[in-house]
Amino acid sequence: MSDRGLEARQFGHRARLALSPALAVKADDQAHAARTMWNLLHVWWQMMPKEKRTLANADAAIRQARQDVDFLAVLPAQAAQAVLKTYFQAWKSCWAGRADAPNFKARFRSNLTVDVPQGRDLNIVRVHRRWGMAHLPKIGRVRFRWTKELPVGKQAGEENRITGARLVKDTLG
């Protein structure tokens, strides 16, 4: 809460990534793995008895799935935890009456997204007047168009810092 009694709002910033074809394939693989993780988590949730549907059990199931299934291993552990957090929040919204129950995510109906919940791992640097670079887990260094001043380096403080990112593949790529 600020001194005026209003809650401080955080707004996102959208930047277009300049991905090479190899990095685009890695990002798409991560997004498909995140969608598959959601669907597997949904099956697990429906299969489990109510008393065993806990975050600890779901976390253990996710860790085991990332070890056993090869294509889920491309998803970073942070992103897998973000899928679990989002899925559990969807159930909380359902129980509160604000939304319908979570459903399966279809391959062609849903956007390809990957969450990077820990901003400290992004290591954002400004390379040029128009370009910046960020490190994305299991993808590597990617360039993005610098269109707005971002709190990086000395400009970042406790109230003004980057706390995470979400990669969304839109219709333009």
pLDDT digits (tens, 9 = 90+) for 5-27: 555 556 666 777 888 889 888 88
pLDDT tens digits for range 28-71:
898 889 899 999 999 999 999 989 988 899 999 999 988 998 88
DSSP secondary structure letters along 30-80: HHHHHHHHHHHHHHHHHHS-GGG--HHHHHHHHHHHHHH-GGGTTS-HHHH
Query: What is the Rg, in whole angstroms, of the alpha carbon atoms belonging to the chain?
Result: 18
Paired tokens of 9: 């709002």
Q: What is the spatial distance between Cα 155 and Cα 152, in angstroms, rounded to a whole number?
A: 5
**Domain ranges, residue 133:** 113-169
Same domain, 98 and 136: no
Regarding whether 144 and 64 lie in a shared domain, the answer is no
Structure letter (DSSP) for residue 123: -
**Distance, CA of 164 to chain centre:** 8
Q: Is residue 33 part of a domain?
A: yes
Same domain as 51, residue 35: yes
End position of a domain, from candidates 72, 90, 110: 110
Total domains, the chain? 2
Give the SS3 label for residue 26.
helix
For residues 137 and 76, is the Cβ–Cβ distance under 8 A? Answer: yes
pLDDT digits (tens, 9 = 90+) for 155-169: 566 666 676 676 777
